[in-house]
């Protein structure tokens, strides 16, 4: 019998009001491994959760920020204790290999400890007054109820990037995780709630964190249009992000969007080729290419193009596919049947419409046990030209487009030539080119001699152009999104200045 999971609303675990449910299955062994049954919620459940969060806010905002940070410290400790179990179950529900799900969990732990310490900072500013005997101060204050809509590719790290800073700032949370990865989300919320109970004891406040499982078009839609939700944080596709911005922005909610990417790695003719090779393998095929920071374009200087491509094809063909909780597996399955179908559609576009040259993969992987899951062969297209669809559109799968460039400027222009601007990478030993790349690349993240993936939890994360709407997650920057500024003037002159200076 598969385990049955519930929503957490107002401190109580409960079924959806409609009683509807959905299944969570292992993408590497679809028919064999039913992981759990989860509530399929609707607007009624969202309304109850938002009401609970709104009520809880009036108490939670008064808990001193260092105390809120203490709760996050306990959360980090509990996640550390359970790291192996969390990672194993995450691989089971979304497919990426165990080393990566451990990394995903560690990113959440790092975010917890950073947030815990921020409870003792949340610095404001003060400034001199124009008038004598007057103090000018400014404080960060919490905003209210946050709605959090998160994707399946980083089932632990991404929710923690949002929930932890929001909580430390004094906001309350209604969380809707991706339907594909509800178990990791349920574990996260269970940990946060138990840490709250432990640290606050008899002063425990129900409703500070609520989880409502279900479909984006039902649960997510109810959240973004709810008048009592004050802010929305979303990570996902650019199309969905635009819709969220329209609806939530229409009622002046604060909205943070982390959207698509079409990240490129440039390899110059003076680069350390072995290093660049490792990086592109990891960047393109890690997480089966299902990262918004994945390397989906490789821009090779013409002098090294043929040699590098030959080595890359050879290494790619040696990658081992399989269930990510088993030893010696490099690449897991696509997360779902429909995700794999969409990857395959792009491969057909690359072959038939773009007329690029398929040099590796390009098909479902179905040998032996692979037939049980949604596996796709790591795929490389060569002779890709700027402007082709596979060069412009986010594929979110194990497909790499290789483009030849004439020189450094040409490489940077190709890299910049998409509507996205999340991550980027340049391999070169030339310090001048490296510095020009940092200046001229239009992206939120640039790596020099590193893969496009691997952002650290205490650094700003996000992108330019259609990758987002200008906010950043991670590090110190995210605290600006989850707090408002309040300016305070204290006049100790005992005089009224009635406007004159």
Binding status of residue 249 toward ligand UN1 by CB under 6 A: no
Nearest Cα to Cα of residue 219 among 239, 234, 238, 237: 234
At its nearest, how many Å lie between ligand UN1 and the CB of residue 235? 6
Binding status of residue 425 toward ligand UN1 by CB under 6 A: no
- Choice between 436 and 465, CB closer to ligand UN1: 465
Binding status of residue 154 toward ligand UN1 by CB under 6 A: yes
Q: Determine the Cα–Cα distance for residues 298 and 312; give it in Å rounded to an integer.
A: 11
Binding status of residue 450 toward ligand UN1 by CB under 6 A: no
Q: How many residues belong to the site for ligand UN1 (CB under 6 A)?
A: 10
- Choice between 162 and 213, CB closer to ligand UN1: 162
Nearest Cα to Cα of residue 122 among 172, 69, 59, 71: 69
Q: Determine the Cα–Cα distance for residues 145 and 51; give it in Å rounded to an integer.
A: 9
Strands of 483-491's sheet in order across: 126-127, 134-142, 483-491
Q: Determine the Cα–Cα distance for residues 83 and 49; give it in Å rounded to an integer.
A: 28
At its nearest, how many Å lie between ligand UN1 and the CB of residue 423? 7
- Choice between 87 and 356, CB closer to ligand UN1: 87
Helix (H) or strand (E) holding 8: strand 7-9
Contact predicate 479/133, CB 8 Å: no
Figure out which of the listed residues 153, 245, 288, 360 binds ligand UN1, where binding follows CB under 6 A: 153
- Choice between 70 and 258, CB closer to ligand UN1: 258
Contact predicate 263/394, CB 8 Å: no
Binding status of residue 453 toward ligand UN1 by CB under 6 A: yes
Binding status of residue 96 toward ligand UN1 by CB under 6 A: no
Residue 390 CA, chain-centre distance (Å), reads 23
- Choice between 48 and 394, CB closer to ligand UN1: 394
Figure out which of the listed residues 455, 462, 463, 472 binds ligand UN1, where binding follows CB under 6 A: 455
At its nearest, how many Å lie between ligand UN1 and the CB of residue 107? 6
Figure out which of the listed residues 162, 226, 291, 472 binds ligand UN1, where binding follows CB under 6 A: 291
Q: What is the DSSP string of 82-128?
A: THHHHHHHHHHHH---HHHHHHHHHHHHHHHHHHHHHTT-----EE-
Binding status of residue 454 toward ligand UN1 by CB under 6 A: yes
At its nearest, how many Å lie between ligand UN1 and the CB of residue 454? 5
At its nearest, how many Å lie between ligand UN1 and the CB of residue 257? 12
CA atoms within 13 A on the CB side of 185: 35
Q: Angle at the Cα of 177 (from 336 to 231), degrees rounded to 5?
A: 135
> Which positions are catalytic?
258, 292
Binding status of residue 264 toward ligand UN1 by CB under 6 A: no
Which SS3 state, helix, strand or coil, does residue 169 take?
coil
Binding segment for ligand UN1 among 222-230, 245-253, 370-378, 449-457 (CB under 6 A)? 449-457
Binding status of residue 293 toward ligand UN1 by CB under 6 A: yes
Contact predicate 142/170, CB 8 Å: yes
Binding segment for ligand UN1 among 66-74, 142-150, 262-270, 450-458 (CB under 6 A)? 450-458
Return phi, psi of residue 241, to 5°: -60, -40
At its nearest, how many Å lie between ligand UN1 and the CB of residue 455? 3
- Cβ density class 431-445: b for 16+ within 10 Å, e for less: eebbebbeeebbbbb
- Choice between 56 and 294, CB closer to ligand UN1: 294
Q: Which residues bind ligand UN1 (CB under 6 A)?
A: 107, 153-154, 235, 291-293, 453-455
């Amino acid at each position: 019998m598969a385990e049955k999971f519930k929503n957490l609303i107002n401190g109580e675990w409960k079924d959806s009001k409609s009683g509807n449910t959905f299944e969570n299955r292992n993408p590497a062994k679809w028919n064999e491994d039913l992981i759990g049954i989860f509530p399929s919620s609707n607007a009624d459940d969202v309304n109850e959760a938002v009401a609970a969060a709104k009520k809880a806010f009036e108490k939670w905002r008064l808990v001193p920020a260092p105390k809120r940070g203490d709760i996050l410290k306990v959360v980090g400790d509990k996640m550390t204790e359970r790291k192996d179990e969390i990672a194993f179950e995450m691989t089971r529900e979304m497919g990426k290999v165990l080393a990566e799900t451990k990394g995903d969990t560690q990113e959440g732990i790092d975010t917890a400890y950073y947030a815990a310490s921020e409870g003792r900072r949340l610095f404001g500013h003060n400034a001199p007054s124009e008038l004598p005997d007057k103090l000018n101060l400014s404080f960060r204050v919490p905003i209210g109820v946050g709605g959090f809509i998160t994707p399946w590719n980083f089932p632990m790290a991404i929710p923690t990037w949002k929930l932890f800073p929001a909580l430390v700032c004094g906001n309350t949370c209604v969380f809707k995780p991706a339907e594909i990865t509800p178990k990791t989300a349920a574990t996260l919320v269970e940990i946060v709630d138990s840490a709250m109970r432990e640290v606050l004891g008899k002063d425990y406040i129900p409703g500070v964190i609520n989880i409502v499982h279900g479909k984006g078009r039902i649960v997510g839609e109810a959240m973004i249009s709810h008048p009592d939700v004050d802010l929305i944080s979303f990570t996902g596709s650019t199309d969905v992000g635009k819709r969220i911005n329209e609806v939530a922005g229409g009622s002046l909610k604060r909205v943070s969007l982390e959207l698509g990417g079409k990240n490129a790695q440039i390899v110059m003719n003076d680069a350390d080729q072995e290093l660049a090779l490792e990086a592109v393998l990891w960047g393109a095929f890690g997480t089966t290419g299902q990262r918004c920071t994945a390397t989906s374009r490789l821009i090779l200087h013409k002098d090294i193009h043929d040699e590098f491509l030959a080595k890359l094809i050879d290494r790619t063909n040696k990658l081992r596919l399989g269930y990510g909780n088993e030893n010696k597996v490099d690449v897991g399955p696509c997360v779902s049947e429909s995700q794999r179908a969409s990857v395959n559609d792009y491969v057909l576009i690359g072959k038939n419409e773009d007329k690029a040259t398929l040099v590796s993969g390009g098909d479902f992987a179905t040998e032996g046990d692979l037939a049980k899951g949604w596996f796709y062969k790591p795929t490389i297209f060569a002779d890709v030209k700027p402007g082709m669809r596979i060069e412009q559109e986010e594929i979110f799968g194990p497909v790499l487009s290789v483009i030849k460039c004439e020189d450094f400027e040409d490489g940077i222009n190709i890299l910049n030539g998409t509507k996205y601007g999340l991550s980027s990478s340049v391999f070169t030993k030339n310090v001048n080119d490296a510095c020009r790349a940092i200046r001229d690349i239009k992206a939120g993240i640039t790596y020099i001699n590193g893969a496009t993936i691997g952002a650290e939890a205490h650094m700003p994360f996000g992108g330019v152009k259609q990758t987002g709407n200008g906010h950043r997650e991670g590090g110190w920057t995210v605290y600006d999104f989850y707090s408002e500024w309040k300016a305070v003037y204290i006049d100790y002159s005992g005089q009224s200045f009635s406007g004159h200076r």
